[in-house]
Amino acid sequence: MGSIKKRITQLLRKHHYWREIGFDELSELYIGAMFRSLSLSIIGVFIPLYLLRLGYPVLDIVVLFAWYYVFLVPLAPVTAKLILLIGPKHTILVSHVFQIATLGLFMTLSLFHWPLLVLAAVWAIANSLYYIAYHVDFSKIKHTEHGGKELGLASILENIGYAAGPVVGGILATFFGAQFAFLVATVILFIGIVPLMSTAEQVTLHRPLNFRLFTLRRMFRDSFVFSWLCVENLVSTFFWPLYISLFLVTGLAYAELGAISTAGFLASLIMARLIGQLTDRHKGRQLLQGSVLGMSATFLVRPFLQSIGIAGFVNLIYQSATMGMNLPFYKGLYDHADEYGEHRVEYFTILEVVNAFLRALVCWAAVLLLGHYNTQLVLMLTFVLAAIACCAGIAERFEALD
């Protein structure tokens, strides 16, 4: 663990030698994110398939996700208050505790038949605590002029976890059972806790939340773009794996799903460093606009896919395009958050509330449609929605991408 952090710190210092602070904070955040991505990617893409294998109907699985997003809405301001009380890194630490509890609930679901509402609530707490705190922490400690490179390195390390996780999880689930994959993910998440607390918090603590700066006029565009891109993410991380699990996988379902996910994240891994550098060279907006169109095209062809192999190829193109969209977008988003100074906590909280509300609406709409129409048709409609949602990225106007 120490050698990994030392190597990352040396790499950062080599390329950013004028910086006096921030290497330890960045390397700490990078390592924690890498272990978390490895842990959760071992089981993340398999959750719809796992629930189907346990006998849950598609409608119940979609309802689980719908409640998950409903819970995220009121949890966001609670998370913001906690960040201002104990800091973002300590909040991430608390999120790991709830994430471990979530893994435990999934792992023992076949034994104790936990109410899915309880599972959705605990899962929502874990992710609300993590994502808002991560956005606040990274936006605070990143370097404005070289945020693209730093995001690129963060994406490389996260995608190492995302690339390794699905294939490892697929092998574990195939040969040892899905519950064993959840157990391994839990152990790795424990390991990821270790590097979180080795540096001081960088955010001002013990102040009240203040949303008076954030008028509808100031927040509308950012909330609109961020929320619709999150809808696209909902489709790609939930509805798409659900569709594959129902209609494309064959005998070795876990292994096949893991293999196509790993292939896609490997493509992202290869692209991350280059895209980060291009973003810092003021090529970010062109990259973002071209990438969202590529992402949109991959969703439009998905209803016509007939084999797992072709699905894997499409997923590879999609993940490469996603990297080209995500790095410029988050570079612009984090730099824009700097304008709010210590009120960046409120900024990211508003974004999370709006995007969770919109994703909840999408899930409940899918629940309604599933009650009247064929499952395959409803899932195909979510692909069309995602293709449209991608295009929201073109509406961004971040000054950092000018």
Within a domain: residue 209? no
Domain count for the chain:
1
Within a domain: residue 208? no
Separation between Cα atoms, residue 42 and residue 314, nearest integer Å: 21
Residue 103, token pair as written in the block? 């893994």
Within a domain: residue 206? no
Separation between Cα atoms, residue 291 and residue 45, nearest integer Å: 23
Separation between Cα atoms, residue 334 and residue 344, nearest integer Å: 9
Within a domain: residue 204? no
Residue 111, token pair as written in the block? 């034994």
Domain around 108: 2-199+215-401
Separation between Cα atoms, residue 75 and residue 69, nearest integer Å: 10
Separation between Cα atoms, residue 15 and residue 8, nearest integer Å: 11
Please say whether the beta carbons of 248 and 305 come within 8 A: yes
Within a domain: residue 210? no
How far apart, in Å, are the Cα atoms of 67 and each of 133, 144, 223, 227?
22, 37, 21, 17
How far apart, in Å, are the Cα atoms of 235 and each of 185, 243, 363?
23, 10, 10
**pLDDT tens by residue, the chain, 402 residues:** 555 445 544 444 444 433 333 435 666 666 777 777 777 766 767 788 889 989 999 999 999 999 999 999 999 999 999 999 988 888 988 998 999 999 899 989 999 999 999 999 999 999 999 999 988 887 776 655 544 455 556 666 665 666 666 767 777 777 787 788 778 878 877 777 766 666 666 566 678 888 988 988 889 999 999 999 999 999 999 999 999 889 987 766 667 776 777 666 666 666 666 666 666 566 778 888 999 999 999 999 999 998 888 888 888 889 888 888 888 898 889 889 888 888 999 999 999 999 999 999 999 999 999 999 999 999 999 999 999 999 999 999 888 787
Separation between Cα atoms, residue 90 and residue 108, nearest integer Å: 28
Mapped to the 3 state alphabet, what secondary structure does 58-87 carry? HHHHHHHHHHHHHHHHHHHHHHHHHHHHHC
CATH number assigned to the domain comprising residue 161:
1.20.1250.20
Within a domain: residue 205? no
Burial of 210 (0-12, 13-18, 19+ CB in 10 A): exposed
Residue 120, token pair as written in the block? 């959705």
Within a domain: residue 291? yes
Separation between Cα atoms, residue 34 and residue 158, nearest integer Å: 4
Please say whether the beta carbons of 393 and 327 come within 8 A: no
According to the model, what pLDDT value does residue 3 have? 55
